[in-house]
Amino acid sequence: MEFRPLSQRAKWAVIALVSVAVLDVVAVWADWDRYDLLGRIVNGGSYTLAEATTSDNRQSTIALLQILALIVGAIFFIRWFLEAYRNVDALGGTRDFTEKWAGWAWFVPILSLWRPKQIANEIWRAGDPDRPTEHPSETTPLWGVLALWWACWIASNFISQIAARMAFHNDTVAGLRHSTAAYLIGDSIDIAAAVLAIGVILRITARQEERAAKRAISVTA
């Protein structure tokens, strides 16, 4: 199987994730502002109806933009992820799963909690540039950022789901304030997840291309 460079897909995935991170930063600011507003309402502080209406409209707009950015980001990231997994064979490695799992694993309930990470581990090990002619070993150390990225991704999704349930089931000001605090935490962690994902994309892309280049030299030597 021929190695396929990842740089083009990596570029678009990074651009999409930068958009996600920027919107998350805006969302954190809006969450904090709303949390402060709801705190004033709960404690009998001063506020205006216009201020409350503006906050509601802003939250709805940002939430919509976040959903759209997440969809676009997921599409471009998974395109890159799928191609990176396809390259495992070309780099002299073996896959425990079919290449389609690099796409479908993200959408299967429960399994999505660990299968994409397993695939990411295989991608990382198969891209080892230090021993380009050797078969990748399961004892090859994993990059710690992979685990940190995955932890942030799972945590941000879990907390955001909790926040959404809280907002749906609590129509009191105090309840909305609690859900806003949860959104604030979730959005903050999502910033870290997006930044770490960008690092993962850049590092794996570089590793694969370096290993492929060294393997090509060894074949022609």
pLDDT digits (tens, 9 = 90+) for 209-221: 999 999 988 766 5
Query: Do 127 and 208 meet the contact criterion of CB atoms below 8 Å apart?
Result: yes
pTM: 0.94
Distance CA 131, CA 214 (A): 9
pLDDT of residue 154: 98
Phi and psi at 205, nearest 5°, equal -60, -45
Note the pLDDT of residue 17. Answer: 98
- pLDDT tens for 10-65 read 999 999 999 999 999 999 999 999 999 999 999 999 999 999 999 999 999 999 99
CA distance 65 to 130: 42
SS3 of residue 106 by DSSP = coil
Give the pLDDT of residue 137: 80
Amino acid 219: pLDDT: 64
CB atoms closer than 10 angstroms to residue 145:
14
pLDDT per residue as tens digits for the range 161-191: 999 999 888 889 999 999 999 999 999 999 9
CA distance 43 to 146: 43
pLDDT of residue 221: 53
> What is the mean pLDDT of the segment spanning 194-207?
98
Interacting residues of 158 by C-beta distance below 8 A, sequence separation 6+? none
- Whole-angstrom distance, CA of residue 135 vs CA of residue 123: 13
Average pLDDT over the chain, rounded to an integer: 95
Structure tokens belonging to residue 168: 């749906």
Contact between 93 and 174 under an 8 Å Cβ cutoff? The reply is no
On the 0-12 / 13-18 / 19+ scale of CB atoms within 10 A, 13 is buried
pLDDT tens track for 121-137: 999 999 999 988 888 88
